[in-house]
Amino acid sequence: MDDKKIIKLCLAGSVLSIIVLYFAVMQVGSQNVKVGEITGDFSGKVVNVTGEVSNVYLHKNGHVFFNLKDREDKIRVVVWESDVEQLLYSGVNITGIRNGDKIQIVGTVELYRGEPEIIPVRAQVKFV
């Protein structure tokens, strides 16, 4: 194998390793919770939550808003336009999301008008 091929192979392996490490760190740094457990006390924390989508709203600016619910509880999820693009690159078409879809999100809890909402960490949304 010549030097150019070895360098390309090493570079590709390094980039792939960094990507895998990034996603592993995001999963380790998140706390698995149920929708109903998320309160204002979680503000700034990264959570991993699974639920059913409802009240989907696709904003004209490219943002996506929806509720994520489990049995009786729900929380607002906001996916900013830049993250919509990131998700598309990772193979998740969030603009195709529909009421009733089941998804898993790793995201940061933020407070908006005193209520908690989840802002997904880049490319950390998947259909289940």
Would you say 33 and 45 are in contact if contact means Cβ atoms under 8 Å apart? no
Would you say 126 and 103 are in contact if contact means Cβ atoms under 8 Å apart? yes
Domain boundaries along the sequence of the chain: 32-127
- Domain with residues 32-127, CATH architecture: Beta Barrel (2.40)
In this prediction the pTM is: 0.74
Instruction: Give the integer Cα–Cα distance in Å for 89 and 97.
Output: 16
Would you say 64 and 107 are in contact if contact means Cβ atoms under 8 Å apart? no
For each of the chain's 128 residues, which pLDDT tens digit applies?
Answer: 688 888 888 888 888 777 766 665 555 567 788 998 999 889 989 999 999 999 999 999 999 999 999 888 999 999 999 888 888 888 888 888 999 999 999 999 999 999 999 999 866 788 88
If you average pLDDT over every residue of the chain, what do you get? 86
